[in-house]
């Protein structure tokens, strides 16, 4: 008997080929598209919140003879992702909406729908793998395509979900996924731009979005000694490590925020971006097991960063401390720190509270 599985369908090549591969390997997939809130009318053509992406998801399901369902998640998406995004920026923190969406919205809604329909498994088009340990625990491990590795974005998923997640693309490279699409008659995906940045607002419209939601909150741009170098329109327009668009003379990097005084702190020395110790809150242990002794790990503090050697210390008062062997650059409050153990297995992750 075929096992039923819910496939999150965004209308992109990855989720579409996930559906195809599952059907070809004997599963009985059901496509589910989440309708998400967006801001403005300019969302790019392949964002997962557009009418076009819904049309593509539906047509792929029809072509493969798979039932397609639509779940209205707009209100939940606005509350759990968009409002979170604005709230973090208002506190001079740099949010991570994609990882937060995976934990609070996307997988939560897919598993909720699956449970309501008597289905145990959920699949998505993420480039990741799961492996079963001898003790029965499920661990998140790196995919074949290390360049596309998305385990960082999944580090907040709890064990109860990981045990029922299927990631077919974990055994493929992006090029192989495109080759599969072409071979199976989905050539149009080869001409579709891949999604980048925020799904709920067009990249060019982000400044307008931020101005509408948070306004302009002008303040001083200062160096580490407090010398005033210029003015800014709002801390929410900047992020740690940014060096373009500062509006001051010379090449400077954003190295910090003084939220209390509404000051943007910059430096000409890139070394001022380096931090060795990171304090992490809300840490999710992927296997449900909390270490009781310091352990050697590799840690990642932003997308596209190669995990680097660190010591992860047991939580004290709900705060996990990671100490890097070599200082890490642009560690940002509000972003996610993910830790990995033997073989690249994801231990879990949490939100960066501070770094020094």
Which active-site residues does the annotation give? 101, 199
Q: What are phi and psi of 5, to 5 degrees?
A: -150, 140
Token pair 């208002």 is found at: 90
Spatial distance between the Cα atoms of 316 and 233, rounded to a whole number of angstroms: 38
Distance in angstroms (rounded) separating the CA atoms of residues 311 and 324: 6
User: 268-279 b/e with 16+ CB inside 10 Å = b?
Assistant: eeeeebbbebbb
308-312-316-320 Cα dihedral, nearest 10 degrees? 30
Strands (E), the chain: 4-8, 28-35, 68-72, 121-123, 129-132, 138-141, 165-166, 219-222, 228-232, 253-258, 263-267, 274-285, 295-300, 308-316, 319-329, 336-340, 346-355
Q: How far apart are CA 47 and CA 256, in angstroms?
A: 32
Length of the chain (residues) = 356
**Which of 343, 305, 348, 308 is closest to 131 using CA atoms?**
343
3-state secondary structure at position 84: helix
Can you read off the two tokens belonging to residue 135? Answer: 């003790």
């Amino acid at each position: 008997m075929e096992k039923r599985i819910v496939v999150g369908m965004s209308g992109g090549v990855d989720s579409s080929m996930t559906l195809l591969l599952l059907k070809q390997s004997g599963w009985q997939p059901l496509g589910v598209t989440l309708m998400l809130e967006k801001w403005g009318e300019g969302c790019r053509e392949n964002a997962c919140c557009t009418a076009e992406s819904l049309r593509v998801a539906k047509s792929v399901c029809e072509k493969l003879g798979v039932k397609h369902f639509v779940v209205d998640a707009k209100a939940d998406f606005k509350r759990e992702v968009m409002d979170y995004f604005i709230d973090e920026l208002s506190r001079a923190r740099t949010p991570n909406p994609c990882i937060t969406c995976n934990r609070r919205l996307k997988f939560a809604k897919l598993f909720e729908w699956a449970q309501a329909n008597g289905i145990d498994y959920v699949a998505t088009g993420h480039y990741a793998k799961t492996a079963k340990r001898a003790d029965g625990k499920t661990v998140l491990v790196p995919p074949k395509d290390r360049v596309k590795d998305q385990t960082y974005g999944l580090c907040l998923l709890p064990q109860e979900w990981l045990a029922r997640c299927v990631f077919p693309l974990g055994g493929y490279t992006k090029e192989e996924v495109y080759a599969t699409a072409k071979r199976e008659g989905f050539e149009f995906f080869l001409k579709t731009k891949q999604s980048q940045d925020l799904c709920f607002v067009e990249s060019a419209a982000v400044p307008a979005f931020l101005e509408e939601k948070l306004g302009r909150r002008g303040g001083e741009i200062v160096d580490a000694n407090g010398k005033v170098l210029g003015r800014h329109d709002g801390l929410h327009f900047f992020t740690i490590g940014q060096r373009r668009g500062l509006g001051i003379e010379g090449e400077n990097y954003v190295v910090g925020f003084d939220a209390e005084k509404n000051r943007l702190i910059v430096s000409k020395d890139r070394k001022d971006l380096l931090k060795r110790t990171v304090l992490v809150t809300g840490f999710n242990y992927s296997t449900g097991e909390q270490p009781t002794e310091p352990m050697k790990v590799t840690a990642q503090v932003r997308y596209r960063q190669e995990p680097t050697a660190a010591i992860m210390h047991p939580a004290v008062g709900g705060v996990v401390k990671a100490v890097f062997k070599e200082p890490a650059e642009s560690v940002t409050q509000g972003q996610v720190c993910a830790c990995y153990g033997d073989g690249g297995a994801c231990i879990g992750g949490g939100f960066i509270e501070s770094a020094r």
